[in-house]
Structure 1
Protein backbone atom coordinates (compact mmCIF):
# COMPACT_ATOMS: atom_id res chain seq x y z
CA UNK A 1 0.00 0.00 0.00
CA UNK A 2 1.19 3.53 -0.73
CA UNK A 3 1.81 6.07 2.03
CA UNK A 4 0.02 8.75 -0.02
CA UNK A 5 -3.15 6.70 -0.55
CA UNK A 6 -6.24 8.25 1.12
CA UNK A 7 -7.64 5.69 3.54
CA UNK A 8 -9.85 5.63 6.63
CA UNK A 9 -8.04 4.37 9.73
CA UNK A 10 -10.07 3.51 12.83
CA UNK A 11 -9.76 1.96 16.27
CA UNK A 12 -11.99 2.04 19.37
CA UNK A 13 -11.19 5.70 20.08
CA UNK A 14 -10.73 7.66 16.85
CA UNK A 15 -11.38 7.53 13.13
CA UNK A 16 -8.90 9.22 10.83
CA UNK A 17 -10.79 10.34 7.74
CA UNK A 18 -9.19 11.69 4.54
CA UNK A 19 -9.36 15.46 5.03
CA UNK A 20 -12.26 17.03 3.14
CA UNK A 21 -14.11 20.35 3.00
CA UNK A 22 -16.99 18.74 4.94
CA UNK A 23 -14.72 18.75 8.03
CA UNK A 24 -14.39 22.54 8.03
CA UNK A 25 -17.21 23.38 10.44
CA UNK A 26 -15.97 21.07 13.19
CA UNK A 27 -12.35 22.10 12.58
CA UNK A 28 -13.18 25.81 12.86
CA UNK A 29 -14.73 25.07 16.25
CA UNK A 30 -11.76 22.87 17.22
CA UNK A 31 -9.26 25.63 16.36
CA UNK A 32 -11.08 28.20 18.48
CA UNK A 33 -9.47 28.64 21.87
CA UNK A 34 -6.20 26.98 20.89
CA UNK A 35 -2.91 28.52 21.90
CA UNK A 36 -1.57 29.94 18.65
CA UNK A 37 1.97 30.25 19.97
CA UNK A 38 4.51 31.83 17.65
CA UNK A 39 6.34 28.52 17.28
CA UNK A 40 3.32 26.47 16.14
CA UNK A 41 1.52 26.27 12.81
CA UNK A 42 -2.02 25.76 14.10
CA UNK A 43 -4.45 27.64 11.86
CA UNK A 44 -6.66 30.32 13.36
CA UNK A 45 -10.37 29.53 12.97
CA UNK A 46 -10.62 31.86 9.95
CA UNK A 47 -7.67 30.05 8.31
CA UNK A 48 -9.03 26.50 8.64
CA UNK A 49 -10.68 26.35 5.21
CA UNK A 50 -7.56 27.55 3.41
CA UNK A 51 -5.50 25.02 5.42
CA UNK A 52 -7.83 22.24 4.28
CA UNK A 53 -7.45 23.38 0.65
CA UNK A 54 -3.66 23.57 0.97
CA UNK A 55 -3.33 20.09 2.50
CA UNK A 56 -5.66 18.59 -0.10
CA UNK A 57 -3.62 20.20 -2.91
CA UNK A 58 -0.47 18.66 -1.44
CA UNK A 59 -2.26 15.30 -1.31
CA UNK A 60 -2.86 15.64 -5.06
CA UNK A 61 0.87 16.08 -5.71
CA UNK A 62 1.66 13.08 -3.47
CA UNK A 63 3.78 14.86 -0.86
CA UNK A 64 1.19 14.92 1.97
CA UNK A 65 -1.59 12.60 3.11
CA UNK A 66 -3.87 14.58 5.48
CA UNK A 67 -6.58 13.32 7.84
CA UNK A 68 -9.29 14.81 10.02
CA UNK A 69 -9.28 13.30 13.53
CA UNK A 70 -12.75 12.26 14.69
CA UNK A 71 -13.40 11.27 18.31
CA UNK A 72 -15.70 8.27 18.35
CA UNK A 73 -17.10 9.00 21.82
CA UNK A 74 -18.49 12.38 20.70
CA UNK A 75 -18.59 11.98 16.91
CA UNK A 76 -16.86 15.37 16.53
CA UNK A 77 -13.83 16.17 14.39
CA UNK A 78 -11.30 17.58 16.85
CA UNK A 79 -8.17 18.17 14.79
CA UNK A 80 -5.91 17.32 11.88
CA UNK A 81 -2.85 15.18 11.30
CA UNK A 82 -0.83 14.24 8.23
CA UNK A 83 1.81 12.11 6.67
CA UNK A 84 4.34 14.68 5.44
CA UNK A 85 7.41 14.54 3.22
CA UNK A 86 6.30 11.23 1.75
CA UNK A 87 9.24 9.51 0.09
CA UNK A 88 7.57 6.39 -1.27
CA UNK A 89 10.62 4.96 -3.10
CA UNK A 90 12.59 5.18 0.16
CA UNK A 91 9.61 4.05 2.30
CA UNK A 92 10.14 7.05 4.55
CA UNK A 93 7.50 9.39 5.98
CA UNK A 94 7.01 12.06 8.62
CA UNK A 95 3.95 12.30 10.86
CA UNK A 96 3.19 15.90 11.65
CA UNK A 97 1.19 19.09 11.27
CA UNK A 98 -0.93 17.60 14.03
CA UNK A 99 -3.13 19.80 16.15
CA UNK A 100 -6.04 18.97 18.43
CA UNK A 101 -8.80 20.97 20.09
CA UNK A 102 -8.24 21.83 23.75
CA UNK A 103 -10.97 19.32 24.65
CA UNK A 104 -8.96 16.51 23.00
CA UNK A 105 -5.56 17.37 24.43
CA UNK A 106 -4.23 15.11 27.17
CA UNK A 107 -6.84 12.48 26.32
CA UNK A 108 -6.58 9.16 24.46
CA UNK A 109 -7.08 10.94 21.12
CA UNK A 110 -3.44 11.67 20.22
CA UNK A 111 -2.20 8.27 21.41
CA UNK A 112 -4.94 6.46 19.49
CA UNK A 113 -4.29 8.46 16.33
CA UNK A 114 -0.53 7.90 16.48
CA UNK A 115 -1.10 4.17 16.99
CA UNK A 116 -3.14 4.10 13.77
CA UNK A 117 -0.68 6.20 11.77
CA UNK A 118 2.38 4.29 12.91
CA UNK A 119 0.69 0.91 12.46
CA UNK A 120 -0.40 1.81 8.94
CA UNK A 121 3.08 3.07 8.01
CA UNK A 122 4.97 0.07 9.36
CA UNK A 123 2.49 -2.78 8.87
CA UNK A 124 0.67 -1.83 5.66
CA UNK A 125 3.15 0.45 3.86
CA UNK A 126 6.41 -1.25 4.90
CA UNK A 127 8.00 2.02 6.07
CA UNK A 128 11.66 1.83 7.07
CA UNK A 129 11.51 5.06 9.12
CA UNK A 130 8.76 7.26 10.52
CA UNK A 131 9.92 10.71 11.50
CA UNK A 132 8.54 13.45 13.72
CA UNK A 133 9.74 17.06 13.63
CA UNK A 134 8.95 19.98 15.89
CA UNK A 135 10.17 23.43 16.78
CA UNK A 136 12.86 23.53 19.46
CA UNK A 137 10.68 25.89 21.53
CA UNK A 138 7.64 23.59 21.39
CA UNK A 139 8.47 21.67 24.57
CA UNK A 140 4.96 20.19 24.84
CA UNK A 141 5.32 18.63 21.40
CA UNK A 142 8.86 17.38 22.07
CA UNK A 143 7.71 15.71 25.29
CA UNK A 144 4.69 14.14 23.56
CA UNK A 145 6.87 12.74 20.76
CA UNK A 146 9.33 11.29 23.28
CA UNK A 147 6.42 9.70 25.21
CA UNK A 148 5.42 7.90 22.00
CA UNK A 149 8.75 6.10 22.13
CA UNK A 150 10.47 8.01 19.32
CA UNK A 151 14.19 8.59 19.62
CA UNK A 152 15.70 12.02 19.07
CA UNK A 153 17.93 11.97 15.98
CA UNK A 154 19.21 15.50 16.25
CA UNK A 155 18.55 19.19 15.77
CA UNK A 156 18.54 20.97 12.42
CA UNK A 157 19.81 24.41 13.35
CA UNK A 158 18.44 27.44 11.48
CA UNK A 159 16.32 24.97 9.53
CA UNK A 160 13.46 27.32 8.63
CA UNK A 161 12.63 31.00 8.57
CA UNK A 162 9.43 31.71 10.52
CA UNK A 163 6.66 34.12 9.53
CA UNK A 164 8.16 36.86 11.71
CA UNK A 165 11.64 36.27 10.31
CA UNK A 166 12.76 34.21 13.31
CA UNK A 167 15.00 31.22 12.66
CA UNK A 168 13.62 27.82 13.62
CA UNK A 169 15.73 25.04 15.04
CA UNK A 170 13.91 21.80 14.19
CA UNK A 171 14.16 18.79 16.52
CA UNK A 172 14.00 15.51 14.58
CA UNK A 173 12.82 12.22 16.10
CA UNK A 174 12.20 8.85 14.47
CA UNK A 175 10.95 5.33 15.01
CA UNK A 176 12.48 2.43 13.06
CA UNK A 177 10.90 -0.97 12.27
CA UNK A 178 12.79 -2.92 15.01
CA UNK A 179 11.52 -0.36 17.56
CA UNK A 180 7.90 -0.49 16.39
CA UNK A 181 6.78 -3.60 18.38
CA UNK A 182 7.85 -2.02 21.70
CA UNK A 183 6.40 1.36 20.71
CA UNK A 184 3.12 -0.34 19.74
CA UNK A 185 2.93 -2.17 23.07
CA UNK A 186 3.59 1.08 24.93
CA UNK A 187 0.82 2.90 23.06
CA UNK A 188 -1.62 0.03 23.52
CA UNK A 189 -0.81 -0.08 27.23
CA UNK A 190 -1.50 3.65 27.57
CA UNK A 191 -4.84 3.22 25.79
CA UNK A 192 -5.78 0.26 28.01
CA UNK A 193 -5.41 2.48 31.08
Structure 2
Protein backbone atom coordinates (compact mmCIF):
# COMPACT_ATOMS: atom_id res chain seq x y z
CA UNK A 1 0.00 0.00 0.00
CA UNK A 2 2.07 2.97 -1.23
CA UNK A 3 1.05 6.04 0.78
CA UNK A 4 2.77 8.98 -0.92
CA UNK A 5 2.16 12.76 -0.77
CA UNK A 6 -0.55 13.72 -3.25
CA UNK A 7 -2.88 16.65 -3.92
CA UNK A 8 -6.57 15.73 -3.75
CA UNK A 9 -9.21 18.14 -5.02
CA UNK A 10 -12.95 18.59 -5.16
CA UNK A 11 -15.18 21.45 -6.27
CA UNK A 12 -15.05 23.49 -3.05
CA UNK A 13 -11.66 22.51 -1.63
CA UNK A 14 -8.30 20.92 -2.23
CA UNK A 15 -5.94 19.02 0.02
CA UNK A 16 -2.26 19.76 -0.54
CA UNK A 17 0.65 18.01 1.15
CA UNK A 18 1.43 19.97 4.32
CA UNK A 19 4.38 22.32 3.90
CA UNK A 20 6.14 24.91 6.09
CA UNK A 21 5.07 27.57 3.57
CA UNK A 22 1.46 27.10 4.78
CA UNK A 23 2.37 28.37 8.26
CA UNK A 24 0.99 31.93 8.05
CA UNK A 25 -2.33 30.93 6.50
CA UNK A 26 -2.76 28.10 9.01
CA UNK A 27 -2.29 30.55 11.89
CA UNK A 28 -5.05 32.72 10.43
CA UNK A 29 -7.25 29.63 10.04
CA UNK A 30 -6.84 28.42 13.62
CA UNK A 31 -7.53 31.96 14.88
CA UNK A 32 -10.88 31.86 13.03
CA UNK A 33 -12.91 30.63 15.99
CA UNK A 34 -9.95 30.36 18.36
CA UNK A 35 -10.10 26.62 17.86
CA UNK A 36 -7.37 25.77 20.38
CA UNK A 37 -9.68 26.99 23.17
CA UNK A 38 -11.92 23.93 22.71
CA UNK A 39 -10.35 21.79 25.42
CA UNK A 40 -11.46 18.51 23.84
CA UNK A 41 -9.74 19.16 20.49
CA UNK A 42 -6.10 19.12 19.42
CA UNK A 43 -6.04 22.24 17.24
CA UNK A 44 -2.67 23.95 17.83
CA UNK A 45 -2.29 27.33 19.46
CA UNK A 46 -1.06 29.96 16.98
CA UNK A 47 2.35 30.20 18.64
CA UNK A 48 2.72 26.40 18.36
CA UNK A 49 1.90 26.14 14.64
CA UNK A 50 5.55 25.75 13.58
CA UNK A 51 6.01 22.92 16.08
CA UNK A 52 2.79 21.23 14.89
CA UNK A 53 3.86 21.41 11.24
CA UNK A 54 7.26 19.98 12.17
CA UNK A 55 5.63 17.21 14.23
CA UNK A 56 3.40 16.14 11.38
CA UNK A 57 6.22 16.31 8.83
CA UNK A 58 8.35 14.20 11.20
CA UNK A 59 5.61 11.55 11.25
CA UNK A 60 5.48 11.76 7.44
CA UNK A 61 9.23 11.05 7.33
CA UNK A 62 8.66 8.01 9.60
CA UNK A 63 5.91 6.75 7.29
CA UNK A 64 3.12 6.84 9.89
CA UNK A 65 1.25 9.97 8.73
CA UNK A 66 0.36 11.66 5.45
CA UNK A 67 -0.55 15.25 6.47
CA UNK A 68 -2.53 17.71 4.37
CA UNK A 69 -3.38 21.39 4.46
CA UNK A 70 -7.03 22.04 3.58
CA UNK A 71 -7.59 24.95 1.18
CA UNK A 72 -11.02 26.38 0.42
CA UNK A 73 -13.56 28.94 1.45
CA UNK A 74 -14.34 32.14 -0.40
CA UNK A 75 -10.68 33.14 -0.86
CA UNK A 76 -9.22 29.68 -1.40
CA UNK A 77 -6.81 30.11 1.52
CA UNK A 78 -5.71 27.45 4.00
CA UNK A 79 -8.62 26.69 6.34
CA UNK A 80 -7.31 23.73 8.32
CA UNK A 81 -5.38 20.49 8.51
CA UNK A 82 -6.17 16.79 8.18
CA UNK A 83 -4.22 13.60 7.65
CA UNK A 84 -4.07 9.92 6.97
CA UNK A 85 -2.54 8.48 10.14
CA UNK A 86 -2.02 5.16 11.89
CA UNK A 87 -1.06 3.87 8.44
CA UNK A 88 -1.09 0.08 8.49
CA UNK A 89 0.47 -1.13 5.24
CA UNK A 90 0.29 -4.80 6.24
CA UNK A 91 -3.45 -4.81 6.88
CA UNK A 92 -4.45 -2.03 4.45
CA UNK A 93 -6.01 0.27 7.03
CA UNK A 94 -5.69 4.00 7.72
CA UNK A 95 -7.24 6.52 10.04
CA UNK A 96 -8.45 9.95 8.91
CA UNK A 97 -7.66 12.25 11.78
CA UNK A 98 -5.85 15.18 13.38
CA UNK A 99 -8.43 17.30 11.57
CA UNK A 100 -9.44 20.85 12.40
CA UNK A 101 -11.07 23.50 10.22
CA UNK A 102 -11.71 27.21 10.65
CA UNK A 103 -15.06 28.15 12.16
CA UNK A 104 -16.13 30.10 9.04
CA UNK A 105 -16.14 26.90 6.95
CA UNK A 106 -17.56 24.54 9.57
CA UNK A 107 -21.00 23.14 8.71
CA UNK A 108 -20.40 23.79 5.02
CA UNK A 109 -19.90 21.37 2.15
CA UNK A 110 -16.12 21.71 2.54
CA UNK A 111 -15.69 19.09 5.28
CA UNK A 112 -18.01 16.61 3.56
CA UNK A 113 -16.10 17.01 0.32
CA UNK A 114 -12.75 16.69 2.09
CA UNK A 115 -13.88 13.39 3.62
CA UNK A 116 -15.21 12.23 0.24
CA UNK A 117 -11.87 12.78 -1.53
CA UNK A 118 -9.92 11.22 1.37
CA UNK A 119 -12.17 8.17 1.49
CA UNK A 120 -12.10 7.82 -2.29
CA UNK A 121 -8.30 7.86 -2.24
CA UNK A 122 -8.16 5.40 0.67
CA UNK A 123 -10.52 2.84 -0.84
CA UNK A 124 -9.99 3.28 -4.57
CA UNK A 125 -6.29 4.15 -4.83
CA UNK A 126 -4.71 2.72 -1.68
CA UNK A 127 -6.96 -0.33 -1.59
CA UNK A 128 -7.86 0.00 2.09
CA UNK A 129 -10.17 -2.56 3.66
CA UNK A 130 -11.19 -0.14 6.42
CA UNK A 131 -10.84 3.53 7.34
CA UNK A 132 -11.09 4.69 10.95
CA UNK A 133 -12.17 8.04 12.36
CA UNK A 134 -11.70 8.86 16.04
CA UNK A 135 -12.81 11.68 18.29
CA UNK A 136 -13.21 12.66 21.94
CA UNK A 137 -16.38 11.16 23.39
CA UNK A 138 -17.48 14.65 24.50
CA UNK A 139 -16.87 16.27 21.10
CA UNK A 140 -20.48 15.94 20.05
CA UNK A 141 -20.06 18.18 16.99
CA UNK A 142 -17.32 15.91 15.65
CA UNK A 143 -19.24 12.74 16.51
CA UNK A 144 -22.30 14.05 14.68
CA UNK A 145 -20.21 14.95 11.62
CA UNK A 146 -18.61 11.48 11.57
CA UNK A 147 -22.00 9.79 11.91
CA UNK A 148 -23.41 11.93 9.05
CA UNK A 149 -20.72 10.40 6.84
CA UNK A 150 -22.24 6.99 7.51
CA UNK A 151 -19.40 5.67 9.68
CA UNK A 152 -20.35 3.15 12.36
CA UNK A 153 -19.27 3.29 15.99
CA UNK A 154 -16.93 0.35 16.72
CA UNK A 155 -16.61 1.22 20.38
CA UNK A 156 -15.24 3.60 23.00
CA UNK A 157 -11.70 3.38 24.32
CA UNK A 158 -12.04 4.40 27.96
CA UNK A 159 -9.27 6.53 29.53
CA UNK A 160 -7.52 6.27 26.18
CA UNK A 161 -5.37 9.43 26.23
CA UNK A 162 -4.61 12.52 28.26
CA UNK A 163 -6.08 15.73 26.89
CA UNK A 164 -4.05 18.93 26.74
CA UNK A 165 -5.60 20.08 30.04
CA UNK A 166 -4.60 16.84 31.79
CA UNK A 167 -8.03 15.19 31.82
CA UNK A 168 -8.47 11.64 30.58
CA UNK A 169 -10.07 11.24 27.16
CA UNK A 170 -12.52 8.53 26.20
CA UNK A 171 -12.06 8.01 22.46
CA UNK A 172 -14.94 7.06 20.15
CA UNK A 173 -13.68 4.81 17.34
CA UNK A 174 -15.71 4.80 14.12
CA UNK A 175 -15.03 3.02 10.85
CA UNK A 176 -16.14 2.56 7.29
CA UNK A 177 -15.29 -0.81 5.72
CA UNK A 178 -14.64 -1.63 2.09
CA UNK A 179 -17.98 -3.35 1.47
CA UNK A 180 -19.83 -0.24 2.72
CA UNK A 181 -17.87 2.18 0.57
CA UNK A 182 -20.09 2.21 -2.58
CA UNK A 183 -23.15 3.09 -0.49
CA UNK A 184 -21.25 5.65 1.60
CA UNK A 185 -19.85 7.25 -1.55
CA UNK A 186 -23.34 7.55 -3.08
CA UNK A 187 -24.59 9.06 0.20
CA UNK A 188 -21.81 11.67 0.33
CA UNK A 189 -22.27 12.61 -3.32
CA UNK A 190 -26.01 13.01 -2.66
CA UNK A 191 -25.28 15.23 0.37
CA UNK A 192 -23.01 17.43 -1.74
CA UNK A 193 -25.63 17.71 -4.50
CA UNK A 194 -28.38 18.80 -2.11
CA UNK A 195 -28.77 22.53 -1.40
CA UNK A 196 -27.67 23.50 2.11
CA UNK A 197 -30.22 25.22 4.34
Question: Could you say which TM-score interval applies, normalised by the shorter chain?
Answer: over 0.9
Q: Give TM-score, length-normalised by structure 2.
A: 0.94
Q: Deviations over 1:82-134 (max 9, x none)?
A: 01100111101000111001111111110110001000000000001100010
Q: Distance in 2 between matches of 1:177 and 1:73?
A: 34
Q: Tell me what 1:185 maps to.
A: 186
Q: Tell me what 1:14 maps to.
A: 13
Superposed counterparts of 1:133-148, under 5 Å: 133-148=134-149
Q: Does 1:2 align with 2:2?
A: yes
Q: Distance in 2 between matches of 1:12 and 1:42?
A: 25
Q: Secondary structure at the match of 2:70?
A: strand
Q: Tell me what 1:34 maps to.
A: 34
Q: Tell me what 1:51 maps to.
A: 52
Structure 2: gaps (5+ residues): none
Structure 1: gaps (5+ residues): none
Q: Tell me what 1:102 maps to.
A: 103
Q: Tell me what 1:77 maps to.
A: 78
Q: Give 1:75 shift.
A: 1.7
Q: Tell me what 2:170 maps to.
A: 169
Q: Secondary structure at the match of 2:128?
A: coil
Could you tell me whether the CA contact under 8 Å between 1:12 and 1:72 is conserved in 2? Answer: no
Q: Does 1:63 align with 2:84?
A: no
Q: Give 1:143 shift.
A: 0.5
Q: Give 1:162 shift.
A: 2.3
Q: Deviations over 1:60-96 (max 9, x none)?
A: 0000100000117522110000011001111010001
Could you tell me whether the CA contact under 8 Å between 1:15 and 1:72 is conserved in 2? Answer: no
Q: Distance in 2 between matches of 1:104 and 1:72?
A: 6
Runs of 4+ with deviation above 4 angstroms: none
Could you tell me whether the CA contact under 8 Å between 2:73 and 2:105 is conserved in 1? Answer: no
Q: Tell me what 2:125 maps to.
A: 124
Could you tell me whether the CA contact under 8 Å between 2:97 and 2:133 is conserved in 1? Answer: yes
Q: Give TM-score, length-normalised by structure 1.
A: 0.96
Q: Give 1:38 shift.
A: 1.2
